[in-house]
Structure 1
């Protein structure tokens, strides 16, 4: 009889312990790691991304969290340095044991992190532009920004619509610039564009006069196409106007922000680039499905931080919503289930486009995700409009 009582008591204790463990597990936070360039030469990219993620986590936790659990955000600053990003990725996967990773801000850092995410079988959503992040497809790596190939094709479309087919190409020596340069040279001829000059600038260059002198010396050049991030493109734009150059000047989505306009000043007037819808959200027609999503994000960010976010912050906004949506549909933070759910994303409206992912496409955007923006009066406006 005593043995039966002890056995029953033991069973009750075991059940209570199991329940307590389950409850504790349910209360454990869902951990999302982020590696961002919060400081350094591309802080204009990483800072709004960090602020956006912090805002979204705060909003979500105020509503009860995700799957009934709070969300914990762990942010590491890589300063735009790929080696530092790799170290942070090791820490997130092996020490922090995060459920997913968002980042990095730059292409070089993202490419350095991917092997760690793959090895740790941890879903990773990059906020960088290089198509090499998702092509060829990596099992655990996804991204939100439109690719550099898409960016180049969209610029080509706009050039040809203006009767411009002969260009000078000037690209940064960083990962983003190199990738964009290679793609431009690869696909130009097939798309009716002739690259007459192919020049490079380096991250610490403070003057681009030498490169621009070669452009001025070539009478056949009809437009200039610059691909880069950081202060370089703004320096080049200033030099461009100082030299009295008037050829149409195109930049990439690597500088699609107010920060570029602030750095370049009046010299940016007339510059065009392909950008996410949110950069020109106010100019979008009412029927555009991305207008309400973009305006909602802009208003929330402005209310919290007192300024308008950049499309770079929008990349983080989209990544967080993609991840939260996948976790809800998976009803789990099991890495494999979340990864599979990301691949099954359909018709998710973001600031950067409408996402439709698959096993063969870990971005899920097409060229309609890009709008051509033009700098007018110190602001980005939708090209072709009178606004």
Structure 2
């Protein structure tokens, strides 16, 4: 074989090798596509808006620092307006058209449950930001969540009720997915917690006056405290009506109202003395110096408020946790394959987030225990830590 022929063959071989290498090179440099379906507008916007702002803020920061394993994140966000049918449509679009490798979103329990089958069928990890326990109990292989569950909220509230020497409780619950889920959980755990539910009222998402339900509760013999499972404007209306009726019994809200916006909607005067279980983010500066969450919370709070000009809420914190758990899982897996990524998320241990210290497993797709919840009380328009 002549030298010229050998050179031609060598060039062809090098060319073929370069062509083979191109897809691998492209894969190494291609963006990591992460989806988010959030309720940025609509009745759950006070949840979805800080989630949206948080994801955009930290994706920009991650990309500015070089991305994940050298690849930038491409965040694809859709606004479902709080509508479960729209959420499912967007979930399908993320899977079929946008080709995302993972999903961080699902603002409400209702939208999350509508989307879950789409991601499960596609074997794409889905980290929800909603509260209902049914999202992860029983466990679905590819579905996770960051907030504390409604069952945990009932347990934390009932523990505080008992600590005050009380045991007879009235429920007034929203008929939305979260409200009904938490109502069910409170009914289930009441007996074990030493609580008797003596009244059970409900209200719809469009109701603007809960005076009739609260009047019936006030007239029920033996009520010692009132618990309001719900989120959105409903709990704020309940709180205002409660004050207007002059009811002096302890009032508990859920972690679904854990933001300064709730206090403003309810008015600080009406909200005075209301208690709720919440993530420590609401009281970050009140935590002891040796609390493992304290610095993480202060750093997130500072970054969010500086970037947005808005007060921090636990709901944006849920998005921070979901994104960071996913990013760390991608790093550990060194892959965006759905099953490998799922396994890496399950292996999350000792992650210090805004919701608590997360330790997941194959049978626990949330990884928080009751100690992650803090009991807070509204005093003079501010959240005050009253217990661990």
TM range (shorter): over 0.9
Q: State yes or no: 1:43 paired with 2:72.
A: no
Q: State yes or no: 1:298 paired with 2:306.
A: no
Secondary structure at the counterpart of residue 189 of structure 1: coil
Q: Partner residue of 1:72?
A: 74
Q: Partner residue of 2:331?
A: 328
The answer to whether the 8 A contact 2:271-2:378 is kept is: yes
Q: Partner residue of 1:365?
A: 368
Name the CA distance, whole Å, in 1 between partners of 2:27 and 2:324. Answer: 24
Q: Partner residue of 1:250?
A: 252
Q: Per-residue displacement from partner, 1:86-120 (whole Å, max 9, x unpaired)?
A: 11100001110101001100000001111000011
Q: Per-residue displacement from partner, 1:259-304 (whole Å, max 9, x unpaired)?
A: 1001001201100000001111111111111111111100111111
Q: Per-residue displacement from partner, 1:339-361 (whole Å, max 9, x unpaired)?
A: 00011110000000100000000
1:4 CA displacement = 4.5
1:185 CA displacement = 1.0
Q: Partner residue of 2:19?
A: 17
Select 2:228's aligned residue among 219, 222, 226: 226
1:190 CA displacement = 1.8
Q: How does 1:166-181 map to 2 (within 5 A)?
A: 166-181=168-183
Name the CA distance, whole Å, in 1 between partners of 2:189 and 2:341. Answer: 35
The answer to whether the 8 A contact 2:374-2:387 is kept is: no
Q: Per-residue displacement from partner, 1:156-178 (whole Å, max 9, x unpaired)?
A: 11110001110100111011011
Deviates more, 1:221-230 or 1:22-31: 22-31
Name the CA distance, whole Å, in 1 between partners of 2:34 and 2:183. Answer: 33
RMSD: 1.2
Q: Partner residue of 2:356?
A: 353
Q: Tell me, which stretches of 5 or more residues in structure 2 are unaligned?
A: none
The answer to whether the 8 A contact 2:317-2:354 is kept is: yes
Q: Per-residue displacement from partner, 1:3-57 (whole Å, max 9, x unpaired)?
A: 6544322211111222333222221100110010000011000000000000000
Q: Partner residue of 1:124?
A: 126
Q: Per-residue displacement from partner, 1:44-93 (whole Å, max 9, x unpaired)?
A: 00000000000000000010000101111000001111111111100001
Q: Partner residue of 2:216?
A: 214
Q: 1:384 to 1:368 in 2, by over 3 A?
A: closer
Name the CA distance, whole Å, in 2 between partners of 1:82 and 1:188. Answer: 30
Secondary structure at the counterpart of residue 237 of structure 1: helix
Q: Per-residue displacement from partner, 1:198-231 (whole Å, max 9, x unpaired)?
A: 1111000000011001111013000000000110
Secondary structure at the counterpart of residue 167 of structure 1: strand
Select 1:165's aligned residue among 164, 167, 174: 167
Q: Tell me, which stretches of 5 or more residues in structure 1 are unaligned?
A: none
Secondary structure at the counterpart of residue 119 of structure 2: helix
1:305 CA displacement = 1.1
